[in-house]
């Protein structure tokens, strides 16, 4: 039995049609259908009823689904734990960071605070906020670097200390029209504005949802990657609320302009969360240098509970 078969089964249960499920799994529909049939052959009974409206789980499929979810989750957790154990054997410092901050903020910030010649190894894991949270909760890294607002809490809970290490802002941006005016002005009520939104795995998406600034906009595209939304906004496909740290160069070059006033900006913190269990000497030194909970430096007041 192939683990991909379980993931295919769960995708078809969620999307209800072979075409959408195959697209979500990044395989062709014929290959996807073959794998579903292979799983059913392995189980020994049909798991879906095929019809014109799509695929509906059979009674056996409904019974199989919670077991499949648990098995896929346990196997993935075992893989992460084994990989983390191997990585920790040779790494002195492991940090998970969301994609947007990995590209822009992290390189300059880490050079200011870590002497690479004194460090055994530095492991940066760049992923979506949801994936970074899972990595942190699994104890695979010492730190999580992310955008943060108090009204959009993380999954980390009160056990994780954090310190503010920077500030950013989510700004509504779009491509310029002829003459430099915004191609998709948010103030223009005469036509709908295409909204380039963050997916469910994105921490920036949570922050925007909590702020309510984009509440009236209807998404035409979603992605958890801010860099993808930037590229599409620059191409004229719509409006995206992008981190100023990420979009600064495109703004300077005139590739992006404001789509709305500063009242639609969303101020955010750049915050570093610390694992309460995965501790190394390098991690402790970095935390103390930032004015963390183990030191009495002037930055101490900025250390808070998540």
pLDDT band at 18 (very low <50, low <70, confident <90, very high): very high
pTM of the model: 0.66
Residue 11 confidence (pLDDT) above 50:
yes
Question: How confident is the model at residue 116, as a pLDDT?
Answer: 64
* Arch. (CATH architecture) of 91-163+270-305: 3-Layer(aba) Sandwich (3.40)
Cβ(275)–Cβ(136) below 8 Å = yes
Residue 304 confidence (pLDDT) above 50:
no
What residue ranges of the chain are covered by domains with CATH 3.40.190.10?
Answer: 91-163+270-305, 167-267
Tens-digit pLDDT profile for residues 188-220: 767 789 999 999 889 999 999 999 998 778 899
Question: How confident is the model at residue 117, as a pLDDT?
Answer: 57
How does strand 143-148 pair with strand 48-51?
Answer: unpaired
- As beta bridge partners, residue 97 has 126, 145
CATH top-level class of 3-79:
mainly alpha
Tokens linked to 139: 């104890």
Residue 89 confidence (pLDDT) above 60:
no
What residue ranges of the chain are covered by domains with CATH 1.10.10.10?
Answer: 3-79
pLDDT band at 84 (very low <50, low <70, confident <90, very high): low
Among 36, 38, 34, 14, CA closest to 24: 14
Question: How confident is the model at residue 90, as a pLDDT?
Answer: 44
How does strand 161-174 pair with strand 257-258?
Answer: antiparallel
Contacts made by residues 211-217, CB under 8 angstroms, sequence distance 24+: 211/149, 211/151, 211/152, 211/170, 211/266, 213/172, 213/241, 213/264, 213/266, 214/172, 214/241, 217/186, 217/193
* CATH for the stretch 167-267: 3.40.190.10
Tens-digit pLDDT profile for residues 129-158: 999 999 999 999 999 999 999 999 899 988
């Amino acid at each position: 039995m192939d683990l991909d078969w379980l993931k295919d089964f769960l995708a078809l249960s969620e999307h209800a049609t072979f075409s959408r499920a195959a697209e979500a799994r990044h395989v062709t529909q014929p290959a996807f259908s073959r794998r579903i049939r292979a799983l059913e052959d392995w189980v020994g009974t049909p798991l879906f009823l095929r019809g014109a409206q799509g695929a509906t789980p059979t009674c056996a499929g409904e019974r199989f689904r919670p077991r499949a979810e648990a098995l896929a989750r346990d196997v993935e957790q075992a893989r992460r734990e084994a990989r983390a154990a191997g990585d920790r054997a040779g790494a002195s410092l492991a940090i998970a960071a969301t994609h947007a901050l990995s590209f822009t903020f992290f390189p300059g910030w880490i050079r200011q605070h870590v002497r690479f010649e004194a460090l055994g190894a530095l492991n940066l894991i760049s992923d979506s906020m949801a994936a970074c949270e899972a990595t942190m909760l699994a104890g695979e890294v010492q730190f999580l670097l992310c955008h943060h607002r108090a009204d959009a809490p993380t999954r980390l809970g009160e056990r994780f200390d954090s310190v503010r290490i920077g500030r950013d802002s989510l700004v509504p941006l779009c491509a310029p029209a002829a003459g430099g005016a915004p191609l998709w002005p948010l103030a223009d009520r005469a036509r709908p504005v295409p909204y380039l939104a963050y997916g469910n795995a994105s921490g920036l998406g949570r922050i925007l949802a909590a702020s309510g600034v984009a509440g009236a906009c209807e998404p035409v595209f979603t992605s958890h990657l801010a860099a993808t939304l930037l590229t599409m906004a620059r191409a004229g496909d719509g409006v995206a609320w992008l981190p100023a740290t990420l979009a600064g160069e495109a703004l300077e070059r005139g590739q992006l302009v404001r789509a709305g006033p500063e009242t639609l900006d969303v101020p955010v913190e750049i915050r570093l969360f610390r694992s309460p269990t995965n501790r190394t000497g390098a991690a402790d030194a970095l935390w103390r240098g930032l004015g963390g909970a183990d030191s009495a430096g002037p930055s101490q007041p900025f250390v808070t509970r998540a």
